[in-house]
Structure 1
Amino acid sequence: MDDAALDEVDRRILALLQQDATLSNQALAARVHVSPPTCLRRVRRLFERGVIEKQVAIVSPEKVGAGLTGIVEITLDAQGAEHLSAFERAMADEPAVTQCYRVSSGPDFVLVVQVPDMAAYHALAHRAFTARGNVRNVRTFFSVHRSKFDTRVPL
């Protein structure tokens, strides 16, 4: 679904759901000024078209024992499409890797990892990065303070 296919009602629905996905259909409909059946139909359409990928609960890493955040740059030795895809598949299977981006100009990948402590990071780094034959360079930055975290997409 392209940006032009979203009308103002869709944008209001998306803005509200990004703030609070627990809103009932009735409450959401009232806030966007449409009938509940219309609202439900629009939300379903946004899901079907992939505009809304999923609804989740955002958990505080510190409160569940995963308070160390690492931002990891990975450079591979071989950058062929099959090598890049293989690395992405491996990272998809790593629970501590919460985000994986293929990037241009610089490293091949930037990852965000959540681990309990440095010992857990070292185990992850060995298992997922240095033990892999195709990883040339790993550079990790550890967060000392998170001043902003938002999952909303500007509309």
Structure 2
Amino acid sequence: MDISPSDLIILRMLQENARERLETIATETGLSVATVQRRIRNLKADGAIMSENALISPKAVGYAMTFLVFVELEHERIDQIDAFRRKAKAEAQVQQCYYITGEADFALIALARDMEDYEQLTHRLFFQDSNVKRFRTSVVMDRTKVGMNVPLG
């Protein structure tokens, strides 16, 4: 994927505000509004822009707790790895899921309303899965920095 300096400006502006006006982006990049529209369409088609989302406060909608969960699988066959990936993707309380190296196979960031809610989540994700060898949980004390921004220079 060939990202031009103008594309970087577009990406930076949209990353800060996905609803930025095309006219404002055109002014910043020195491009026409039509060119900006075409570039954005191409950046989406090429996968540089993956999605546009609203960042919602978990507490505002009743999720008072955040957890980091490290999951170790019993067997690491590709079909079993894919099965766990599908299960994590399908679980609404799992915000992020990473297949990792090291002591664990997966790292999850998950939300829960309270400890009872988290316990129910662990039953769905881990205890009912015979391929989950063990999992370790850390409770997030404070969400110091939250985001998915990519440094664009």
Letter in 1 for 2:67: G
Match of 2:134 among 137, 140, 143: 137
**Residue 19 of structure 2 aligns with which residue?**
22
Secondary structure class of the residue paired with 2:7: helix
Structure-2 separation of matches of 1:89 and 1:103: 16
Structure-1 separation of matches of 2:21 and 2:33: 10
Q: CA deviation at 1:148?
A: 1.2
**Residue 145 of structure 2 aligns with which residue?**
148
Match of 1:76 among 73, 78, 94: 73
- Deviation string for 1:32-72 (max 9, x for gaps)? 22110111110000001010011010101111111210000
Structure-2 separation of matches of 1:29 and 1:116: 43
Q: CA deviation at 1:147?
A: 1.3
Secondary structure class of the residue paired with 1:129: helix
Secondary structure class of the residue paired with 1:146: coil
Q: CA deviation at 1:31?
A: 2.3
Structure-2 separation of matches of 1:51 and 1:98: 21
TM-score scaled by structure 1? Answer: 0.95
Structure-2 separation of matches of 1:38 and 1:64: 39
- Unpaired runs of 5+ residues, structure 1, are none
**Residue 92 of structure 2 aligns with which residue?**
95
| 1:57 and 2:57 correspond | no
Letter in 1 for 2:70: E
> Percent same amino acid among aligned pairs?
34
Alpha-carbon RMSD across the aligned residues, in angstroms, is 0.9
- Deviation string for 1:89-117 (max 9, x for gaps)? 11111110111100012100000101111
| 1:34 and 2:31 correspond | yes
TM-score scaled by structure 2? Answer: 0.96
Letter in 2 for 1:146: R
Structure-2 separation of matches of 1:67 and 1:24: 34
- How many residues were matched structurally? 152
